[in-house]
Amino acid sequence: MFVCCYHTGAQRTMKYSCILCISHLVIMTWCAAQEGKPPNFVLIVVDDLGIGDLGCYGNTTLRTSNIDQLAKEGVKLTQHIGAAPLCTPSRAAFLTGRYPVRSGMTGHARPGVFIIAGSSGGLPTKELTFAKLAKQQGYSTALIGKWHLGLNCERSDDLCHHPHNHGFDHFYGIPLTHLPDCKPGHGTIFINIFIHIPSRSLMVGVATVAILHVLGVIVVLRKVILAAAFLAALLVAFAGLFLLTFPHFNCLLIRNREVVEQPYVSENLTQKMTQEAVEFLEMNSRQPFLLFFSFIQVHSALFVSPRFKGRSKHGLYGDAVEEVDWSVGKIMETLDHLKLRDNTLVYVTSDNGPHLEVVFKGEMHGGFNGIYKAGKSTNWEGGIRVPAVLRWPGVIPANKQIDEPTSNMDIFPTVVNLVGAAIPEDREIDGRDLMPLVLGQVERSEHEFLFHYCNSYLNAVRWHPANSNSIWKMFFFTPNFYPENSTTCTHTHICFCTKEYVTAHDPPLLFDLSKDPSERSPLSPDNEPLYKEVLSSIREAVHRHTLTLTDVPNQLSLPNLIWNPWLQPCCSSPFQLCQCEKDRM
């Protein structure tokens, strides 16, 4: 196809010389005439959508006709794996084609994602995103929606981690994720995350001293009691102030480099984003473009615009999924109307599994996983197996299902090859070009092994041996669920990966997903003759993989996660609580 043309190198040697420029244009035109144009891209990521929420994946009661239609006109992947079970690391991997440990976008403690806009961590600019490479090839690029990969480094306006520095010409959306704190009346994420921080021993210690003092066994000086009470009051006041002002500091809507609404009102966000996407497509219909449309729905706290409220059979969650589907339909309609359908590659996926712990006033606000176990924040299939459809009429076959393991990291090499850029050779790329598999040129995925990390910790490994249909998955540890026999961590709101919250397995737990996709019955050396062989192959693969890891700064370390007041974006003055509303609609 056109790819050979794009490898002439004309583009890369092109500097400011007009002659080269003209010859480049001639080559481009010749290429286009000879072999068809490189495609445009519309890459759509829904937030926390479950694989069981879509009609094309078996849901019979939610109406997702637009996404289902894409599956009919293209390829549906049934074993598409998010590179991480949480937003920030999964999205870092998606954009760079690399396991998030390679860019330092995985935490060691909790939380494993950014939750404060004025923090200093983020996707390092050394990383190459597919958008950056597409832009270098002349593509017009935009990110509309959620970013969640950092903002500032040293000042409140250096925007070092901003999408502009990662290859997106245009940005309209939110720098973080949509937190409960951004919707009045939905509580705060901090209760869930920090409620377990005052260590039990500290509380037991204070209580013991208090009882002993009351009983007269020991005498605590009045001064000490007063000082402790004063400290505690200060702490409570600080925490209260923090929670009250949190939305003003963290719920920002940004257009390019400007904060346009603070705190934003979520209700019509999907409507506004869709409008923005339609305008972007209209403005760029005559040149190659790449649109990354990153839904803010269906993350909690849920929201929908008035016209979708109460429309679905599944409460507010179902309403939100149906608004997402409507928005996808609008974008597809625009492609049709601009006659871009045939030369646009469309991809729709979710960043990770549904958030099963969110129940609001007795109503389920997380999605559905079909037959898969557990959800977001775990590496059980329910946390990482995400829906994925690809459409490129006339190139990608219609109505085809592919069951081989694929990853959201595969979009990187797929896009980079299609735009005619070179795959970077100075770094490990973990994604694999999807086109040979999707076009039916090969039967097997190139992903013999996939490594499943929980934050920075290697949690499980998937092995699809070249000579067998088995999909082995081996867990080195699993999260401790609460309540005990559920598949959720309701006590902590999400499952954590650190020692206190998991059970280590030695020998590791083994499943064969080809026979047991729901991960019900672990295999052991006693009932699986291949257990030892699988274990040693996986150990060897882990060893080889570990050798490719290098030490990188941890972007989610505590100093990189906490609030730095001097990094706080603020669209009025702090005394007006950074409030503003400059956006239309």
Residues noted as catalytic? 87, 148
> Could you tell me which stretch among 4-12, 59-67, 337-345, 492-500 binds ligand NAG (CB under 6 A)?
59-67
**Which of 59, 352 has the CB closer to ligand NAG?**
59
**Which of 270, 560 has the CB closer to ligand NAG?**
270
CA-nearest of 504, 507, 426, 514 to 469 is: 514
**Which of 485, 550 has the CB closer to ligand NAG?**
485
**Which of 158, 363 has the CB closer to ligand NAG?**
363
With CB under 6 A as the contact rule, the residue among 289, 292, 293, 368 that binds ligand NAG is 368
With CB under 6 A as the contact rule, the residue among 263, 367, 413, 420 that binds ligand NAG is 367
DSSP β-bridge partners for residue 474: 461, 510
Q: How far is CA 482 from CA 299, 489, 502, in A?
A: 21, 5, 11
Least distance (Å) from ligand NAG to the CB of residue 329? Answer: 17
353 forms part of the interface with ligand NAG (CB under 6 A)? no
Least distance (Å) from ligand NAG to the CB of residue 271? Answer: 7
C-beta separation of 198 from 232 below 8 A: no
Least distance (Å) from ligand NAG to the CB of residue 266? Answer: 8
Least distance (Å) from ligand NAG to the CB of residue 486? Answer: 9
Q: How far apart are CA 49 and CA 46, in angstroms?
A: 6
CA-nearest of 132, 135, 140 to 280 is: 140
Residue with tokens 């990853």: 407
Q: How far apart are CA 290 and CA 344, in angstroms?
A: 9
With CB under 6 A as the contact rule, the residue among 31, 46, 49, 62 that binds ligand NAG is 62
CB-side neighbour CA atoms (13 Å) of 209: 11
Q: How far apart are CA 454 and CA 452, in angstroms?
A: 7
Q: How far is CA 467 from CA 305, 330, 448, in A?
A: 51, 44, 10
User: How far separated are the first and last CA of the chain, in Å rounded?
Assistant: 43
> Could you tell me which stretch among 234-242, 264-272, 403-411, 516-524 binds ligand NAG (CB under 6 A)?
264-272
Tell me the number of residues near ligand NAG by CB under 6 A.
20
Least distance (Å) from ligand NAG to the CB of residue 43? Answer: 23
CB-side neighbour CA atoms (13 Å) of 98: 25
520 forms part of the interface with ligand NAG (CB under 6 A)? no
572 forms part of the interface with ligand NAG (CB under 6 A)? no
Q: Considering only residues 289 through 308, tell me which ones interact with ligand NAG, judged by CB under 6 A.
A: 305-306
Helix (H, G, I), strand (E, B) or coil at 142: strand
Q: How far apart are CA 243 and CA 356, in angstroms?
A: 24
Enter the tokens of residue 350: 């979710």
52 forms part of the interface with ligand NAG (CB under 6 A)? yes
484 forms part of the interface with ligand NAG (CB under 6 A)? yes
Return residues touching ligand NAG (CB under 6 A): 50, 52-53, 58-62, 265, 267-268, 305-306, 314, 317-318, 367-368, 484-485
